Amino acid sequence: MPSMVRAAEIAEHVGEEVILKGWVYNRTHKGKLVFLLIRDGYGFVQCVAFERDLDPELFDTIAHIPQESSVVITGQVRADGRAPGIPGGYELGIISLEIIQSVAGDYPIALKEHGVDFLSDHRHLWIRMPSQWAILRIRATVISSIREWLDSNGFTLVDTPILTPAACEGTTTLFATEYFDEGTAYLAQSGQLYNEANIFAFGKVYCFGPTFRAEKSKTRRHLTEFWMVEPEMAFCDLEQLMEIEEQFISHVVQRALRECRAELSALERDISALERIEPPFPRVSYDEALEKLAEIRAQTEDPELKELLEIAWGDDFGSPHETELTKLFQKPVFVYGYPAAAKAFYMEPWPDRPDVSKSVDLLAPEGYGEITGGSERISDPELLLQRIREHQLPEDSFRWYIDLRRYGSVPHSGFGLGVERTVAWICGIDHIRETIPYPRMINRVYP
């Protein structure tokens, strides 16, 4: 009895007779040959039917098998450099083929160019295509390596709630829902505030889950539901935070490089750009970044870019600023010390510069921009209360949070990494909607 193989491991079975279970992604003919590109969830394999070798009825069935029909194929594995597939380079000479379901009618995603709206409406089928399959496999590896690094570096996973009584990242992007007799609850924008409680019990913690922002932004970097991992550490300052981030992100990229070669090459990703990702990453202060942007503005001939890059001290960076800054470096770059007014209420002020916060964003290279946001947190209870009042946040909802500074306060820091933006950068794709199985954006909740 031949053994069942997965497409990803086909190279280990050259010369053997094996069974492959999957779906017909594509079918092409060349004279007395029919080529089926079969996907099995683990990759894509070319399977070849040769008229001379097969029963005429079976050959005819194969020659007419509809796209996306489910099949069980028995065949012999051969190495052939010309064979397309993921990973490619191997093919299966078909000995027998059983159809589980022959698709009747036309499959909606015929193999031709489709608009992204059409594909998004068919996301439940689009994920079968090689590019989408590759991206989501890389996403799974990224998530796995995030957990692996944190779990093996002393971080305890402490889950934080999704239904919350108050805002963490500003009140303008909250999804509200009625909550029985308790008034309004909000979908979590971040687990950070709870992480801060958790470090006083566990030292180093992380939470990892879906995060919600009612952002009115229709950009290629914004989803309304995205996944964020948030590590938080007691006895940690801004400099130590950056050291941890660069170790962590380098690990994630290097593991994707090791384990997702076939997927990255299916996406035609420039591997050398990822191979460079190892510590240390450059560090630039907000003030220095403004100077660099001013230089770029002064040098550019492009009036549109000149206008886009206009910025005054105190403003947060927009995408164009981040994009230009990242082009100056081959690695992710830390931009630290943002104006306090541009950032969240909980950030520790810079010593002797109260207008500046001990904040840091990590901008991914090649124009990708912000993938992490973090800071040292205010550790003094009085200052924290003052900031909550200045931001007109509901004091009552934050009583527990202020408590944390009363009972054993220490310098502490943390950051949040957006999974989708990170995956988009690693995959080298333009829009983050393809990095999550079922994207949620202001104009999309289907399917």
SS3 41: coil
Of 96 and 172, nearer to ligand 4AD (C-beta) is: 172
Q: Are 411 and 380 in contact (CB under 8 A)?
A: no
Of 210 and 279, nearer to ligand 4AD (C-beta) is: 210
Binding partner at 223 among Mg ion, ligand 4AD, none, C-beta below 5 to 8 Å by kind: ligand 4AD
Nearest residue to Mg ion on Cβ basis: 373
Which H or E element spans position 376?
strand 369-376
List beta partners, residue 436: none
CA angle, 278 then 282 then 286, to 5°:
145
In this structure, the dihedral spanned by the alpha carbons of residues 361, 165, 231 and 146, taken in order and rounded to 10 degrees, is -100
Number of residues that bind Mg ion (CB under 5 A): 1
For residue 236, the minimal CB distance to ligand 4AD (Å) is 12
Q: What is the DSSP letter of 304?
A: H
Length of the chain: 447
**What region does 46 belong to: left with phi over 0, alpha with psi -120 to 50, or beta?**
beta
For residue 373, the minimal CB distance to Mg ion (Å) is 3
For residue 414, the minimal CB distance to ligand 4AD (Å) is 5
Binding partner at 135 among ligand 4AD, Mg ion, none, C-beta below 5 to 8 Å by kind: none
For residue 135, the minimal CB distance to Mg ion (Å) is 23
Of 45 and 249, nearer to ligand 4AD (C-beta) is: 249
Binding partner at 215 among Mg ion, ligand 4AD, none, C-beta below 5 to 8 Å by kind: ligand 4AD
**Residue 88, interface with Mg ion (CB under 5 A)?**
no
Of 169 and 434, nearer to ligand 4AD (C-beta) is: 169
For residue 431, the minimal CB distance to ligand 4AD (Å) is 11
Which residue is associated with the tokens 């946001």? 373
Pairing label, strands 90-101, 163-164: unpaired
Which H or E element spans position 401?
helix 399-403
d(CA 329, CA 300): 18
Of 5 and 228, nearer to ligand 4AD (C-beta) is: 228
For residue 193, the minimal CB distance to ligand 4AD (Å) is 8
Which H or E element spans position 195?
helix 192-202
Q: How many CB atoms lie within 10 A of CB 283?
A: 15
In this structure, the dihedral spanned by the alpha carbons of residues 378, 383, 384 and 388, taken in order and rounded to 10 degrees, is -140
Provide the mask over 187-226, with x wherever binding to Mg ion is found by CB under 5 A and - wherever it is not. Answer: ----------------------------------------
Of 141 and 211, nearer to ligand 4AD (C-beta) is: 211
Binding partner at 414 among ligand 4AD, Mg ion, none, C-beta below 5 to 8 Å by kind: ligand 4AD
For residue 393, the minimal CB distance to ligand 4AD (Å) is 14
Query: Which one of 22, 130, 191, 373 is in contact with Mg ion (CB under 5 A)?
Result: 373
Which range touches Mg ion (CB under 5 A), out of 142-150, 222-230, 250-258, 372-380?
372-380
Q: What is the DSSP letter of 352?
A: T
Which range touches Mg ion (CB under 5 A), out of 36-44, 155-163, 309-317, 365-373?
365-373
Residue ranges binding ligand 4AD (CB under 6 A): 168-169, 190, 192, 213, 215, 222-223, 226, 228, 230, 370-374, 414-416, 418, 420-421
Token output for 118: 């059409």
Of 371 and 404, nearer to ligand 4AD (C-beta) is: 371
Of 38 and 238, nearer to ligand 4AD (C-beta) is: 238
Which range touches Mg ion (CB under 5 A), out of 61-69, 174-182, 258-266, 373-381?
373-381
SS3 76: strand
Binding partner at 405 among Mg ion, ligand 4AD, none, C-beta below 5 to 8 Å by kind: none
Q: What are the helix (H) ranges across 64-170?
A: 116-121, 123-126, 130-151
Q: What are the helix (H) ranges across 270-354?
A: 271-275, 286-299, 303-308, 319-326
For residue 308, the minimal CB distance to ligand 4AD (Å) is 20
Type of residue found at 325: L
The DSSP annotation for 235-287 comes to S--HHHHHHHHHHHHHHHHHHHHHH-HHHHHHTT--HHHHHT--SPPPEEEHH
Determine the distance from the C-alpha atom of residue 43 to the mean position of all C-alpha atoms in its chain, rounded to a whole number.
21
Of 27 and 331, nearer to ligand 4AD (C-beta) is: 331
Of 231 and 373, nearer to Mg ion (C-beta) is: 373
Contacting residues toward Mg ion, per CB under 5 A = 373
